[in-house]
């Protein structure tokens, strides 16, 4: 009698190739996903940095505006900084709109209310400052005037 050979329906040949291909597909999907996440996080980081820069410009322009109101001077319509500019427009006698535009065209707006009470508070703060802070403010004003030209 003849010995029977076991019947193999599934061949093991080429299984390592299939495993390798599946592993490569899986890794490429993971790498693509991680790349997309990193790309979005970098974009979000840049937007956050732009937002902080614009808010800083608005805060500096607000200080200049309040000082001009305290001294009853004409407020500047446009203040130019090294990273962008701030446009000041009067909405009503006591409300101003400050719009910061960075060099990359990122914009941010804020409305500022200037009334007698807030100007008195600022006046009190400026009279209590020491001479060192006054020198720093004078240096800032000189830089601002140089940038305005």
Q: pLDDT tens digits for 92-110?
A: 888 889 999 999 999 999 9
The domain segmentation of the chain, as residue ranges, is 41-148
Judged by DSSP in three states, 7 sits in coil
What was the pLDDT predicted at 138? Answer: 58
| Residues of the chain with confidence (pLDDT) below 50 | 118-132, 148-149
CB-CB contact of 76 with 86 (8 Å): no
Q: pLDDT tens digits for 9-28?
A: 566 666 788 889 999 999 99
Query: Within the chain, where are the H helices?
Result: 15-70, 116-128, 131-148
């Amino acid at each position: 009698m003849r010995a029977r050979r076991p019947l193999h329906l599934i061949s093991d040949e080429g299984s390592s190739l299939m495993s390798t291909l599946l592993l490569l597909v899986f890794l490429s999907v993971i790498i693509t996903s991680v790349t997309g996440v990193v790309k979005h996080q970098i974009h979000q980081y840049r937007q956050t940095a732009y937002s902080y820069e614009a808010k800083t410009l608005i805060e500096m322009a607000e200080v200049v505006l309040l000082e001009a109101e305290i001294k009853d001077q004409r407020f500047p319509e446009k203040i130019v900084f090294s990273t962008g500019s701030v446009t000041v427009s009067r909405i009503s006698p006591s409300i101003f709109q400050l719009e910061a535009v960075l060099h990359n065209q990122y914009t941010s707006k804020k409305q500022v209310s200037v009334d007698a009470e807030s100007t008195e508070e600022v006046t009190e703060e400026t009279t209590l400052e020491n001479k060192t802070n006054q020198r720093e403010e004078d240096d800032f004003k000189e830089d601002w005037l140089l940038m305005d030209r």
